[in-house]
């Protein structure tokens, strides 16, 4: 039996267990859309108002489900609009597949509308990408995409799908999927036994070891193995912004986020005093290490990562571990259980150290969180959400004002993916779309988008998507009429030479109401908890517009502004 190319694409996605597609229609996508309409495939197509949003939805969907996120868009502008999501997801090791339709193969070079070299465009932003020139290539291309996305270091893939190829015949006998590649990580592997033993020896010899976890811990599902390791060694855990959720926020050994975004002097001191740092699923990049100052270059380093290219780049590594975080930590734990009697004496009490530094960190935060000043200080917003949100809520935070505050002070009592932010490239306009993807991927959990008013302006059209889909998302707009991160940086590093960073205030609550969304505007801090509780408990889409202190005037946990 023969299928056309568009039908074959739909069937291949179905075989890989795809349940949701995020995207936006276009002329060159018509055969694909027609196949989605006609075939019984069990997939839900989520129509978005912007291709960027479709990509961000797929990104967060993948993060909360450990399934590949799939997005699609048309040729020309649609293909270019998807790019920000791909560079973000690929750098964050999140697998999303993008399918962009294209002009007919037979029209290439004849100046058809929307022609561009999509394969060249996506090459630096993806782990793998291709153009399908013949319909018979469709099944193999999908199999390759899913294998590339889910094995080794997860990443993004892109398929250019020309209009005429969507109409050509494909033999149904070619349609099959490789089991195990529908979720990630797939086909896990471990380091060699000598490498693992070397790491164990160094851990047993260290007087003040700590762990710094990146996003790879949660991606691997290594949270339980990590908890066993640090309990056994009484070892503090610090995280990158993306590594939040590696350990429960209220765990006594969780010292919190370190680095230049979300870290504070108290948490920096934990890294500074360590004689051994164990990086897990972390690239030891500039933000985490405050430009490679903490830890110092003389610190003993163990580095575990799925990507060998991250190990030994920024620090001389004494025990490189190339493999899956979950399986490797389980093996380390098994060896430590047998060899713990050989541990060095007079080891620093990690629990006491973590609790002391956490108390130092939160004391000024809690004092500011009680402030009745107007505009409302960001600390009060975070503190209210910490107390009022369900413990299993998923917060999606944009860069700018939300990121440092929620990175430093948002506490989920549960390990795993409860905080999402786009820290690889930090584009504005991420949080609302990410919250949609998270809500669709985990509909039983409360999904929250926290954004500045700058980010809101990038993504306001998706309020219609939220309304149409009846998604009970809570949206928080931290409204301060400024591109706050840049203005704060101009204050700190450019002697307050503020240039082109301020804009007029928008009444975000009225905008949301125009889309049919319940909304509130809060200027009085004494009203904040009451309004947030109503919004959380409404069971419907809700937006709270909070008139907030500008970031350049706030005590943000950003090291370059703190000294």
* Main-chain phi, psi angles of 288, to 5 degrees: -65, -40
Residue from 296, 285, 282, 290 nearest 260 by CA: 290
Residues whose CB is less than 8 angstroms from the CB of residue 470 and which lie 6 or more positions away in sequence, other chains included: 540, 541
* Exposed / middle / buried, residue 392 (Cβ in 10 Å: 0-12, 13-18, 19+): middle
pLDDT at 560: 72
d(CA 66, CA 290): 30
Q: Is the pLDDT of residue 312 over 90?
A: yes
Hey, is 407 helix, strand or coil? helix
pLDDT at 451: 97
Q: Average pLDDT in the 495-518 region?
A: 96
* Main-chain phi, psi angles of 242, to 5 degrees: -75, -15
Q: Average pLDDT in the 448-460 region?
A: 96
Q: Average pLDDT in the 505-511 region?
A: 97
* Number of DSSP helices (H) and strands (E) in the chain, helices first: 23, 20
pLDDT at 524: 97
d(CA 360, CA 358): 5
pLDDT tier at 411 (50, 70, 90 boundaries)? Answer: confident
CA distance to 102, 104, 164, 169, 511, per residue, from 133 (Å): 11, 9, 9, 13, 45
Q: Average pLDDT in the 153-176 region?
A: 97
- The DSSP output letter for 532 is H
Of the chain, the percentage scoring pLDDT greater than 90 comes to 93
For residue 175, give both structure tokens: 């349609």
d(CA 220, CA 397): 22
The answer to whether residues 278 and 299 touch, using CB atoms and an 8 Å cutoff, is: no
Residue from 257, 254, 264 nearest 240 by CA: 257
pLDDT tier at 460 (50, 70, 90 boundaries)? Answer: very high
Side-chain-side CA neighbours of 20 within 13 Å: the count stands at: 25
Report the mean per-residue pLDDT for the chain. Answer: 96
pLDDT tier at 551 (50, 70, 90 boundaries)? Answer: confident
Per-residue pLDDT of 125-141, as tens digits, reads 999 999 999 999 999 99
pLDDT at 399: 87
Residues whose CB is less than 8 angstroms from the CB of residue 553 and which lie 6 or more positions away in sequence, other chains included: none
Q: How many CB atoms lie within 10 A of CB 492?
A: 15
Looking at the DSSP bridge assignments, the partners of residue 544 are 476, 520
Q: Average pLDDT in the 394-400 region?
A: 94
| For residue 323, cis peptide bond before it (omega within 30 degrees of 0) | no
- The DSSP output letter for 460 is T
Q: List, as one string, the DSSP characters of 21-45.
A: EEE---GGGHHHHHHHHHS----EE
- N residues, the chain: 563
For residue 68, give both structure tokens: 């590949």
Domains (ranges, CATH) in the chain?
Answer: 2-174 (3.40.50.970), 193-353 (3.40.50.1220), 370-562 (3.40.50.970)
Q: Is the pLDDT of residue 563 over 60?
A: no
pLDDT at 409: 95
For residue 185, give both structure tokens: 């990580």
**Rg, Å, the chain Cα set:** 24
Residue from 511, 512, 521, 422 nearest 479 by CA: 521
Per-residue pLDDT of 229-261, as tens digits, reads 999 999 999 999 999 999 999 999 999 999 999
Q: What b/e readout covers 240-257, taking b as 16+ CB neighbours within 10 angstroms? A: bbbbbbbbbbebbbbbbb
Tell me the H-state helices in 340-461: 350-369, 378-388, 402-409, 431-441, 453-459
For residue 79, give both structure tokens: 């293909």
pLDDT at 367: 96
pLDDT tier at 485 (50, 70, 90 boundaries)? Answer: confident
Q: Is the pLDDT of residue 105 over 80?
A: yes
Per-residue pLDDT of 47-103, as tens digits, reads 999 999 999 999 999 999 999 999 999 999 999 999 999 999 999 999 999 999 999
CA distance to 76, 94, 95, 247, 328, per residue, from 154 (Å): 27, 6, 6, 22, 17
Q: Is the pLDDT of residue 423 over 90?
A: no
**Chain-centre distance for alpha carbon 79:** 22
d(CA 106, CA 104): 5
Tell me the H-state helices in 389-430: 402-409
d(CA 428, CA 456): 8
The H or E element spanning position 220 is: helix 216-220
Torsion, CA 543, CA 547, CA 548, CA 550, rounded to 10? 120
pLDDT at 559: 75
């Amino acid at each position: 039996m023969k299928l056309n190319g568009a039908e074959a694409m739909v069937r291949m996605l179905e075989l890989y267990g795809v349940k949701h597609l995020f995207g936006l229609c276009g002329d060159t996508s018509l055969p694909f859309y027609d196949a989605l309409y006609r075939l019984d495939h069990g997939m839900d197509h989520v129509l978005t108002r912007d291709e960027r949003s479709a990509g961000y939805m797929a990104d967060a969907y993948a993060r909360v489900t450990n399934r590949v996120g799939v997005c699609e868009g048309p040729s020309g502008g649609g293909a270019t609009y998807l790019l920000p999501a791909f560079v973000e997801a690929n750098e964050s090791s999140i697998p999303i597949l993008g399918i962009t339709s294209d002009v007919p193969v037979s029209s290439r070079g004849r100046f058809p509308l929307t022609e561009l070299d999509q394969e060249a465009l996506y090459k630096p932003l993806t782990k793998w990408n291709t153009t399908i020139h013949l319909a018979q290539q469709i099944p193999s291309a999908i199999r390759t995409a899913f294998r590339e996305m889910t094995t080794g270091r997860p990443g993004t893939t892109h398929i250019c799908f020309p209009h005429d190829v969507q109409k050509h015949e494909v033999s149904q006998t070619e349609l099959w999927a490789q089991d195990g590649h529908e979720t990630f990580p797939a086909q896990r592997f471990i380091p060699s036994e000598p490498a693992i033993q070397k790491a164990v020896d160094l851990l047993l010899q260290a007087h003040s070891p700590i762990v710094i976890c990146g996003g790879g811990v949660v991606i691997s599902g290594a949270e339980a193995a990590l908890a066993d390791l640090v309990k056994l060694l009484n070892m503090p855990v610090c995280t990158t912004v993306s590594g939040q959720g590696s350990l429960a926020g209220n765990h006594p050994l969780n010292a919190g986020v370190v680095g230049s975004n979300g870290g504070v002097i108290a948490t920096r001191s934990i890294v500074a005093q360590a004689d051994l740092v164990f990086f897990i699923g972390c690239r030891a990049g500039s933000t985490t290490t405050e430009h490679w100052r903490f830890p110092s270059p003389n610190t003993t380093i163990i580095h575990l990562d799925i990507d060998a290219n991250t190990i030994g780049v920024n620090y001389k590594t004494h025990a490189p571990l190339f493999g899956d975080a979950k399986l490797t930590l389980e093996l380390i734990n098994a060896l430590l259980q047998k060899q713990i009697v050989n541990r060095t004496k007079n080891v620093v009490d990690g629990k006491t150290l973590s609790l002391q530094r956490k108390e130092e960190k939160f004391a000024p935060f809690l004092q500011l969180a009680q402030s009745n000043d107007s505009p409302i200080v960001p600390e009060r917003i975070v503190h209210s959400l910490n107390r009022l949100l369900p413990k299993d809520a998923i917060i999606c935070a944009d860069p700018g004002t939300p990121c440092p505050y929620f990175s430093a002070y948002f506490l989920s009592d549960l390990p795993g993916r409860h905080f999402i932010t786009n820290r690889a490239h930090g584009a504005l306009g991420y949080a609302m779309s990410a919250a949609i993807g998270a809500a669709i991927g985990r509909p039983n959990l409360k999904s929250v988008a926290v954004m500045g008013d700058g980010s809101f302006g990038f993504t306001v059209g998706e309020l219609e998507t939220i309304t149409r889909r009846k998604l009970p998302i809570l949206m928080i707009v931290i409204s301060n009429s400024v591109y706050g991160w840049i203005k704060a940086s101009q204050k700190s590093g450019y002697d307050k030479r503020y240039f082109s960073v301020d804009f007029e205030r928008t009444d975000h609550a009225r905008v949301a109401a125009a889309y049919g969304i319940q909304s509130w505007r809060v200027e009085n801090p004494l009203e904040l908890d009451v309004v947030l509780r109503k919004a959380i408990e409404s069971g419907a889409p809700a937006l709270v517009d909070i008139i907030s202190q500008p970031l350049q005037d706030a005590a943000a946990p950003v090291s370059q502004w703190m000294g």
